[in-house]
Amino acid sequence: MEKGVAESRTEQIQILMPEHINGAGRLFGGKLVEWIDVVAGVVARRHSGCNVITAAIDNLQFKAGAYVNDTLVLIGRVTHVGHTSMEVRVDTYVESLSGTRSVVNRAYLVLVALDENGNPTPVPSLRLENRKRARGMGRGRTAPGSAQNPSSGRLLKPGYGISRVIHVLIKTPSSDEIRRVRGLFPLCR
């Protein structure tokens, strides 16, 4: 089974209130991370048709501040699918009253689909509708059978894609497995 990117795309809107602001007068980063996690979870649930857990926040970049009364727009979409895992990109914008959007944050999260017993379960593959989207959305794959860590660009060996790394981490790995994963996937350190 395949699903397109548009089928799970999710958008959330927030108007920043005083309770969302930190001591420096800007949006509290932890609040934004919470909203990003919710958007990513909805995207992954829509794609997989299952409950999901967040396995990793792979990359989170704060690009600009947001302030009281700003309109925040969070847009999430699937960028890569493994066997049981999904990489989700969430872009956050401040939207002006004229409708112009400025990037505030970009985040990549890895979520794992769970069956009714709480075990990882296969997810539908990702159908890429056009070449532009294939270049931008299929970023997790560099060649058949290999995967790339989006943060470092480090190539993982064939057979050790994100879904296998996450599966190893979820299943209480042995010390040998931990050493092998740490060498292949720097974010697991």
Segments in the chain forming alpha helices (H): 29-48, 131-137, 162-170, 175-184
- Strands 71-81 and 155-156, sheet pairing: unpaired
Per-residue model confidence (pLDDT) at position 168: 42
Q: Which of 53, 11, 17, 44 is nearest to 166 (CA)?
A: 53
pLDDT of residue 14 exceeding 90: yes
pLDDT of residue 166 exceeding 90: no
Residue tagged 């970023």 (tokens):
139
Q: Are 108 and 150 in contact (CB under 8 A)?
A: yes
Q: Rounded to an integer, what distance in angstroms lies between the CA atom of residue 109 and that of residue 102?
A: 21
Taking only the tens place, the pLDDT of each residue in 48-105 is 999 999 999 988 899 999 999 999 999 999 999 999 999 999 999 999 999 999 999 9
pLDDT of residue 148 exceeding 60: no
pLDDT of residue 185 exceeding 70: no
pTM given for the model: 0.72
Per-residue model confidence (pLDDT) at position 58: 85
Per-residue model confidence (pLDDT) at position 89: 97
| pLDDT greater at residue 178 or residue 18 | 18
- Strands 2-4 and 71-81, sheet pairing: unpaired
Per-residue model confidence (pLDDT) at position 149: 43
Per-residue model confidence (pLDDT) at position 175: 57
Q: What's the mean per-residue pLDDT of the chain?
A: 80
| pLDDT greater at residue 52 or residue 175 | 52
